[in-house]
């Protein structure tokens, strides 16, 4: 599957290991790719994998999905000298928005 290979190459380029014996097996990646491809196709005209920028956005969507799995409530903590602060992880990724912008469907309400 070409999309799986593209996602694996993208993840490898940012230092995320995939494959047998890791958290991100082909089965997990295929599940996430299916989910994110469906989400992308609801928002955009055109299919992921056909255009390089949509393909890049899909790879990034997969990475964001995998990254947020460990954050059940969508919160992350940062500790300072005497303080622990909680931050809500944004649901919007500016790079995904930028890459998908030319293909976004117009919403009419």
Identify the domain containing residue 65 by its residue range: 2-103
What is the per-residue pLDDT across 55-82, written as a single tens digit (0 to 9) for each?
A: 999 999 999 999 888 777 777 777 666 6
**81, part of any domain:** yes
How far is 20 from 18, CA to CA, in rounded Å? 7
**pTM of the full structure:** 0.82
**How many domains in the chain?**
1
CB atoms within 10 A of CB 30: 14
Main-chain phi, psi angles of 48, to 5 degrees:
-60, 140
**21, part of any domain:** yes
**Bigger pLDDT: 108 vs 37:** 37
**109, part of any domain:** no
**Bigger pLDDT: 12 vs 89:** 12
Main-chain phi, psi angles of 61, to 5 degrees:
-55, -45
pLDDT score for 7: 94
Q: pLDDT exceeding 70 applies to what percent of the chain?
A: 86
């Amino acid at each position: 599957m070409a999309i799986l290979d593209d996602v694996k190459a993208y993840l490898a380029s940012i230092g995320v290991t995939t494959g047998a014996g890791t958290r991100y097996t082909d089965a997990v990646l295929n599940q996430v790719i299916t989910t994110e491809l469906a989400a992308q196709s609801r928002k955009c005209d055109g299919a992921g994998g056909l255009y390089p920028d949509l393909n890049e956005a899909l790879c990034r969507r997969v990475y964001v999905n995998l990254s947020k799995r460990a954050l059940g409530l969508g919160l992350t903590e940062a500790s300072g000298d005497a303080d622990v602060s909680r931050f809500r992880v944004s649901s919007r990724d500016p790079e995904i928005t930028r890459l998908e912008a030319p293909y976004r469907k117009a919403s009419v309400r």
